[in-house]
Amino acid sequence: MHKKLIVGNLKMNPLTPTEFGRYLDGLEKDMKGKRFEKTEIVVCPPAVYFRQFVERKMKDVKLGAQDVYWEYQGAFTGEISAGMMKANGAQYSIVGHSERRKYFGENEEIINLKLKAILKSGLNAILCIGESGEERKSNQTAPVLKKQLEKSLAGIGVGKSEYITIAYEPIWAVGTDKIPSSDEVLEAKIIIKKILTELYSRKAVEKMRILYGGSVKSHCAGQVCVDPAMDGALIGRESLTPYDFIKIAKIIDEK
């Protein structure tokens, strides 16, 4: 069995290297003496903090990127390639986050290019998908997830599937403190597994992890992650406080 995966998406935080240093101090302190037998822990800070992260040489916390650009190298002002993220210590990259879709106009074609670049560079991908509140209300969850998965994974063969983790992040639950019921998460997981099985195979899908993301807190981690037997969590705000982040990781690791 694969390990569970707990990912902290720090988004555009913290503000300074000093604050990030304190964050890392907190992580070290809160990880001390704890063993995570069944769980991988990944933190995705802004890329400007990668070196600081790597220099800490933390044994049990891996580094991830929040996004990459799909080209390999060249005149693309402001962008960072997947290969550069990897060469600077990242082992994972998030792709297709709903904030990238909303504020930066990313669509499935772009996400597909980025996903291919991530896999080609040797990084593991965390592909975010999820329906909006409107789509849920109009019973569009299944077709939306199907479209997102089929288009984002187009041209990516079964040989690469084990390096892809799917994060089910309903858009209406991101940053809102609204959360789905266990049954709703389970239902989405079943839909996702079915679509993936059609694209790949049952055996291949067993190796793919499916996470839940959107307003995960320690008091609801049982409801949205443990009860629907998700393979982990993608955590935003609550990952900004090492104590809370590690608390959620422990709850999921121990189940």
Give, to the nearest 10 degrees, the angle between helix 141-152 and helix 182-199.
Answer: 40
* Minimum distance of ligand 13P from residue 10's CB (angstroms): 10
* Minimum distance of ligand 13P from residue 30's CB (angstroms): 18
Check binding of 175 to ligand 13P (CB under 6 A). yes
* Minimum distance of ligand 13P from residue 88's CB (angstroms): 21
Q: Is the dihedral of CA 11, 118, 179, 142 positive or negative?
A: positive
Check binding of 9 to ligand 13P (CB under 6 A). yes
* Minimum distance of ligand 13P from residue 173's CB (angstroms): 7
Are the C-beta atoms of residues 62 and 91 closer than 8 Å to each other?
yes
Nearer to ligand 13P, 19 or 55 (CB): 19
Check binding of 141 to ligand 13P (CB under 6 A). no
Nearer to ligand 13P, 180 or 214 (CB): 214
Nearer to ligand 13P, 149 or 235 (CB): 235
Nearer to ligand 13P, 24 or 248 (CB): 248
Burial class (CB in 10 A: 0-12, 13-18, 19+), 119: buried
Active site residues: 97, 169
Stretch that binds ligand 13P, among 67-75, 102-110, 208-216, 243-251 (CB under 6 A): 208-216
CA distance 115 to 61: 23
- State which of positions 209-248 bind ligand 13P (CB under 6 A): 213-216, 234-238
C-alpha distance from residue 222 to each of 20, 137, 171 (Å): 29, 25, 20
Cα angle for residues 51, 57, 61 (degrees, 5° grid) = 95
Among 47, 127, 174, 249, binds ligand 13P (CB under 6 A): 174
Nearer to ligand 13P, 52 or 218 (CB): 218
* Minimum distance of ligand 13P from residue 85's CB (angstroms): 17
Distant-in-sequence contacts of 157-164, Cβ < 8 A, 24+ apart:
158/200, 158/201, 158/204, 160/119, 161/196, 161/200, 161/204, 161/205, 161/207, 161/208, 162/204, 162/207, 162/208, 163/119, 163/123, 163/124, 163/125, 164/115, 164/119, 164/124, 164/125, 164/127, 164/208
- State which of positions 50-109 bind ligand 13P (CB under 6 A): 97
Q: Which residues bind ligand 13P (CB under 6 A)?
A: 9, 97, 169, 174-175, 213-216, 234-238
